[in-house]
């Protein structure tokens, strides 16, 4: 008896988000990441946030990027998160959501 296993190719992309980010930057940032994911057919994305200022707009941007990635069928992971940014995400109740 043969078993068939479906194998899905995983494509990982890497990009960085630097700050400070203005609230008016969010739509364009989301569009660029959406286009990047689509252009590469990515199933995983690693976002370097080491240069991101720890503020509410940055956390909003990361939550939106995670949603954009998820809608494209792509998992988003943050890399280089500072303690201050991590603490702010925890304070806002988003640490588990964004730092998986």
Q: Is 70 exceeded by the pLDDT of residue 72?
A: yes
pLDDT at 98: 66
- Taken in order 21, 25, 30, 35, is the CA torsion positive or negative? negative
Residue 78 exposed, middle or buried by CB count within 10 Å (0-12, 13-18, 19+):
buried
CATH of the domain at 52: 3.30.750.24
Residue 68 belongs to a domain:
yes
The pTM for the full model equals 0.84
- Taken in order 33, 60, 53, 69, is the CA torsion positive or negative? negative
Number of domains in the chain: 1
Domain that holds residue 51: 12-98
Residue 5 belongs to a domain:
no
What's the pLDDT band for 100 if we cut at 50, 70, 90?
low
pLDDT at 10: 84
Token readout for 74 is 């792509």
pLDDT in tens, 19-64: 899 999 999 999 999 999 999 999 999 999 999 999 999 999 999 9
Q: Is 80 exceeded by the pLDDT of residue 9?
A: no
Residue 93 belongs to a domain:
yes
CA distance 100 to 69: 14
Q: Which residue has the higher pLDDT, 55 or 9?
A: 55
Residue 2 belongs to a domain:
no
What's the pLDDT band for 93 if we cut at 50, 70, 90?
confident
Residue 4 belongs to a domain:
no
Residue 7 belongs to a domain:
no
Q: Is 70 exceeded by the pLDDT of residue 83?
A: yes
Residue 42 belongs to a domain:
yes
Residue 80 belongs to a domain:
yes
């Amino acid at each position: 008896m043969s078993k068939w296993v479906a194998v899905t190719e995983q494509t990982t992309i890497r990009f960085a988000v630097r700050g400070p980010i203005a609230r008016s930057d969010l739509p364009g940032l989301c569009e660029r990441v959406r286009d990047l994911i689509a252009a590469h057919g990515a199933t995983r994305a690693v976002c370097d946030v080491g240069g991101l200022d720890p503020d509410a707009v940055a956390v909003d941007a990361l939550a939106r990027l995670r949603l954009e990635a998820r809608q494209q069928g792509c998992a988003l992971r943050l890399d280089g998160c500072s303690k201050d940014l991590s603490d702010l995400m925890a304070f806002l109740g988003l640490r588990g959501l964004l730092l998986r």
